[in-house]
Amino acid sequence: MRNARAFGMIGISVVLGIAAVFLAWRMVEQKSHVETNTVVVATRNMDLGSRLAPESIQAVQWPKESMPDGSFATPAALLKDPQSLEPRVIRTSIQRGEPVLESKLAPLGTHGGLSAVIAAGKRAITVRVNDVVGVAGFALPGNFVDVVVNTQDDGIKSGEKERSISKIVLERMLVLAVAQEAGRDDETKPKVVNAVTLEATPEEAEKLDLARSVGTLSLVLRNQIDPVAVVTVGATKDSLLQLHPAKIVVPVVAAKVVAPRAPVVAPQNCVDVISGVQRTRECF
């Protein structure tokens, strides 16, 4: 009797254990099940200005809740331009596994090359540089630089010697290409070139052309997420070497006017002398 009861308890325990495992498996399966949609991603790194090719993209399953805006569901939806039947052109670098978005592509009908990546209303202008002026090769496509010009100060008085001045004249200029290449293989690998192409507004292009005609140019690499503009007065030889330090101004404190004090007279001993009807006083 006791054995039958023990076997019955063991059987019930086994059944409950199997039921618990099954329920846990169902719960894990339900939590791990995520609805997905098809999205087109890059199969390799692609540089700006290049054309999309069938071998450079593929369709993968992407979580439905995190679908990026402007994505494409099939490769055929973005490979061809319905108007010109030409592949779309990339206007910014795309990394392997990254979704291909409409915002990363040039407008429909745009041909390949550097002109496809220039923003609306902007221009591209090339500046001659060397291994030092070009920030030792670290000014790569996609980076931002400031432009410094070294020239002679025309505002000096007659008879004075010419004074050199260096000043930042343009800030946050986007580097479109270095030499004849608009792409880069490694973001951290410097590449020494003899020319850098910058994106500029028409007004900035005029200033840059004038700056390179009146003096020598240098590029200053800046943080990509730093949008703050800085206004400087420029650096001269005097300010660099501190040849004319500023005069130290000592504040003048008004003196307090004190009225003169009357002299203090020491006390004296006096006696009255009477001689007849005359009376005099003698002090000692």
Q: Are residues 54 and 23 in the same domain?
A: no
Instruction: Look up the CATH number of the domain holding residue 40.
Output: 3.90.1210.10
Q: Determine the pLDDT at residue 195.
A: 83
pLDDT at 171: 92
Contact 147, 227 (CB under 8 A): no
Note whether 81 and 88 are within 8 A (CB). Answer: yes
Same domain for 86 and 49: yes
Residue 265: predicted pLDDT: 54
Determine the pLDDT at residue 51.
Answer: 79
Total domains present in the chain: 3
Answer yes or no: is 187 within a domain.
Answer: yes
| Whether 136 and 216 share a structural domain | yes
Range of the domain at 179: 122-241
Residue 106 and residue 50 share a domain? yes
83, 111 contact by CB (below 8 A): no
Name the nearest CA neighbour of 198 among 116, 138, 137, 123. 123
Secondary structure E strands in the chain: 36-42, 57-63, 123-128, 144-152, 164-178, 195-200, 216-222, 235-236, 270-275, 278-283
Residue pLDDT tens, the chain, 284 long: 566 777 677 778 877 888 888 788 777 766 666 678 888 899 988 877 777 888 888 888 888 888 888 888 888 777 765 554 567 788 777 888 899 888 888 777 666 667 777 887 899 998 887 666 666 677 788 889 999 998 887 765 555 566 788 899 999 999 888 876 665 555 556 666 778 889 999 999 999 999 988 888 888 888 888 888 888 888 888 888 887 655 544 455 555 555 555 555 555 667 676 766 677 777 76
Q: How far apart are CA 114 and CA 59, in angstroms?
A: 28
**Residue that terminates a domain, selected from 68, 85, 115:** 115
Which domain-ending residue is among 64, 86, 115? 115
93 is a domain residue: yes
Whether residues 64 and 46 fall in one domain:
yes
DSSP assignment letter at 64: G
Q: Are residues 75 and 14 in the same domain?
A: no
pLDDT at 248: 47
Which domain-ending residue is among 88, 115, 142?
115
- In this structure, the answer to whether residues 5 and 81 fall within a common structural domain is no
| Same-domain status, 24 and 126 | no
Q: Kindly state the tokens that stand for 137.
A: 């090769």
Instruction: Specify the residue for token string 């592509």.
Output: 105
How much is the pLDDT for 161?
A: 65
- Confirm whether 185 is domain-assigned: yes
Q: Evaluate whether residue 268 is within a structural domain.
A: no
Q: Do residue 219 and residue 199 come from a single domain? A: yes
Does any domain span residue 6?
Answer: yes
